[in-house]
Amino acid sequence: MNWKIRKSLTICFELHYVWVRVLVALSLVLNCHARVAASQEDEMELMNQVSRLEAKLNDPLIEKRDEAEAELVKVGPAALKWISSLNDNMSTDQRTRIRRVRGALEAIAAKATSQPSKFSLLGEKKLPEILAELKRQTGNNVKLPEGAETDTLLQCHWENALFWEVVHDILTESKLTIDPYSGDGINLVIIPSPDQIFDPNSDVAEERFAPLYSTAGVVSMHVNRIDNSINLGAPSASYTSMELSVNWEPRLKPINIDMPLSEISYTDDRGTVYDNKNDQVISALIQPELNGAEFTLNLPLIDRKASEIASLDGIMHLLVPGRLERFEFKDIDTAQEGTWQEKADAKVTYGGISKNEDLFGMKISLSFATENNAMESHYGWVMQNRVFLKKADGEEVEPIGFETFQQSENEVGLMYLFVEIPAGATLCYETPAAIVKMELPFSLKRIPLP
C-alpha cells in the first residue's frame, strides 16, 4: 500500500479514536447532569408534596387533617427536611399534629442511626477499591495515609457483614491499625501497625491480635494496656487497671459515652467471677476532631495465679446527635425578643440583640423537651453548632465569636458576636434536633494478664 494512503488511514483512525473519546466523555458529563437534574426534581417534588400535606393540617374537616397527618408519616424521614418548625403563629391543633408527625419520623430516623452499618463485597479487590465501596455502602470514610501500599489484593468475603467486622478483617489481613490521632473527626485513618504487635516471623499473629478486639454495634473497642497495682499497706485497695480504646463509626458524632463500673463483670481463666460493686460511672472525653476515646477502668484485683481474663462484659451508654435541622428567623433586625421555633425535641429561642462596644451581641438559647442530659457537664458539642446571618442577596455573615450566658441541665444560652446586623437578614441556626440514647453491650475475650 502506498505510504501516503497508509498515513491518511492512520490519521483517520487516530481522529476516529479521539472523537470516540470525546463522545464518551460528553456522554458521561450529560449523564452526570441528568442525574443531578433528576435528583433536584425529586427534591422539589418532595418539598411540594410535604407543603401540600402540611397545608391540609389546617383543613376545616378533622377527617382531612387526620388523613394529611397519616400521609406525612408515610413519606418517611426524608420529609423532616421540609416540615415547618413549630412557632407561636400556629394553631394549637396544627402544632400538636406537626409535633406528632415529627416525633414519629424522628423515631424512625433514630432507629436507623443506632443500627450498625452493613457491608457486602466478594472477590479479590485492592484496598482502595474496598474502602471506596465501604464508604458508598455505609457512609463511613476510611482512609489510608499518603504513600501507603495500595496494590496488594485482599480476599473479600463479606455478605451483609457489620462495618466493624469488615474493618477488623482489613486491619488483620493488611497488618494495619487505627490511627487514634488522625485529627479531623471525619475520616477513620488506618496506618501500619507497630512491629511489636505483628511479628513478621510468626504465623500466629492474627490469632494473637484478634482476641483483644470487640464489636458492640456501632462501636469497636480494644485493650491498650492492663496493669496490676498492689498496695502493700492496704491490700484491700489493690486493683487491676485496664486501658480501653473505643472507636465509633465515622458517620456518628457521640456527645458522651459512659461506662458504669457496676455493670462490668469479668471471669478469669481459673473460673473466678468478679462482680464490681463500685457505683462510679466512667465517662470518656469526647474531642470533636477525633473518632475515638479512651477509658481507664480500675477494677477489683484479679488473682495473681490467673494468666488471662477469659471474658469481660459490660454496657456502654452513648448519647448521639440525631438529624441536623436548620432554624431560620427572618428579618432578625426587627424580630421580637422571645420568638421561638421547635423541631422534634429541640427548641431554639431568639433572645434579642444588644450593643457591646463596637460589636452586636445576639442571644440564642437551645433547649430540649426531653430530659436526656445532653447538656449536663458535656455541652461542648453545642459550641460546634453553626450560626450565621443570611443577607437578602444570599451572602452569609459569620459571627466573630461567642460567649455563654446561661447553662442548665437541658438548656444552653450563647451570645454570638457580629460586626454588623444587616437589615432584613435571616438568622440561621443549625443543630441536632434530637438526641439518641444507645445502650451497647460489649464483651472482650482472652485478655492476657501481666
CA atoms within 13 A on the CB side of 312: 30
Distance CA 434, CA 436 (A): 6
At residue 8 the predicted structure's pLDDT band, cuts being 50, 70 and 90, is: low
Domain that holds residue 350: 324-433
Residues 231 and 122 in one domain: yes
Distance CA 180, CA 294 (A): 10
CB-CB contact of 402 with 380 (8 Å): no
pLDDT of residue 195: 53
- Highest mean pLDDT (candidates 109-118, 167-176, 397-406): 397-406
Q: In whole angstroms, how far apart are CA 3 and each of 7, 15, 95?
A: 6, 18, 84
Residues 102 and 156 in one domain: no
Mean pLDDT across 179-205: 67
Residues 175 and 209 in one domain: yes
Q: Mean pLDDT check: name the lowest of 97-101, 149-153, 364-368, 424-428.
A: 149-153
Residues 123 and 255 in one domain: yes
Residues 100 and 233 in one domain: no
Residues 213 and 99 in one domain: no
Distance CA 231, CA 225 (A): 19
Residues 132 and 260 in one domain: yes
Distance CA 421, CA 279 (A): 51
User: What CATH number is given to the structural domain containing 371?
Assistant: 2.60.40
Among the candidates 67, 97, 114, a domain finishes at: 114
Q: In whole angstroms, how far apart are CA 115 and each of 104, 118, 166?
A: 17, 9, 16
- List strands edge to edge, sheet with 219-229: 213-216, 219-229, 239-248, 292-300
Residues 123 and 260 in one domain: yes
CA atoms within 13 A on the CB side of 187: 13
- Residue 340, phi then psi, degrees to nearest 5: -135, 160
Q: Which of 353, 372, 346, 351 is nearest to 430 (CA)?
A: 346
CB-CB contact of 422 with 332 (8 Å): no
Residues 230 and 132 in one domain: yes
Among the candidates 114, 134, 149, a domain finishes at: 114
CB-CB contact of 416 with 362 (8 Å): yes
pLDDT, tens digit, for every residue of 222-261? 898 889 898 888 888 888 899 999 999 999 888 889 999 9
What is the number of domains present in the chain?
A: 3
- Residue 147 is given by DSSP the state T
Residues 199 and 313 in one domain: yes
Residues 328 and 302 in one domain: no
Among the candidates 114, 129, 160, a domain finishes at: 114
At residue 204 the predicted structure's pLDDT band, cuts being 50, 70 and 90, is: very low
Residues 134 and 270 in one domain: yes
Q: Give the angle 411-417-418 at the CA atoms, nearest 5°.
A: 135
Note every long-range contact of 206-215, with CB atoms under 8 Å and residues 24 or more positions apart, other chains counting.
Answer: 206/172, 206/173, 209/172, 210/168, 210/172, 211/445, 211/446, 211/447, 212/444, 212/446, 212/447, 213/168, 214/442, 214/443, 214/444, 214/445, 215/116, 215/162, 215/164, 215/165, 215/168
Mean pLDDT across 435-443: 89
pLDDT of residue 428: 96
The radius of gyration of the chain from alpha carbons, rounded to an integer in Å, stands at 28
